[in-house]
Amino acid sequence: MPGARGDRGQVAVEFVGTVPLILLLVAAVWECVLIGYAFSLAGNAADEAARAGAVHGGGACTAAAGRHISGAWAMEASCTESGDLVKATVTLHLPVLYPGLSIGVPITGEAAAAKEREN
């Protein structure tokens, strides 16, 4: 029928309305992936730092923590000795959508290893 529009264009309007919601959901899922990855990185770096500190001493501890973490994660590492243990703490800053953009929320990984005895 000439002049009758009906529901022409309805799909386009619904698509335009739902795209921002879909993009927001994808961004939220990606942020959750980055948070999990940051926890994994911090824990692994702390494990490596504690092991290096137990074998080679304190100087190697902080160097080992940053060996596999890029500067975009703004890593901070500290190593302490407590009795026969070397304790390492690695802190990364929570990224927003990519590791270079941080909101300053810390994610911490901690580990300890027994000191190696020299014969």
Token duo for residue 111: 């580990």
pTM recorded for the entire structure: 0.79
Whole-number pLDDT of residue 11: 83
Rounded distance between C-alpha atoms, residue 119 and residue 108, angstroms: 35
Tell me: the pLDDT tens digits for 56-76?
Answer: 876 788 889 888 888 888 889
SS3 letters across 50-93 = HHHHHHHCHHHHHHHHCCCCCHHHCCEEEEEEECCEEEEEEEEE
Confidence check: pLDDT of 98 > 70: yes
Q: Which residue bears the tokens 């092991």? A: 51
Q: Which residue bears the tokens 């702390």? A: 46
More confident residue, 20 or 1: 20
Rounded distance between C-alpha atoms, residue 94 and residue 34, angstroms: 8
Confidence of residue 40 (pLDDT cuts 50, 70, 90): very high
3-state helix, strand, coil in the chain (%, to 5): 50, 30, 20
Q: Are 34 and 97 in contact (CB under 8 A)?
A: yes
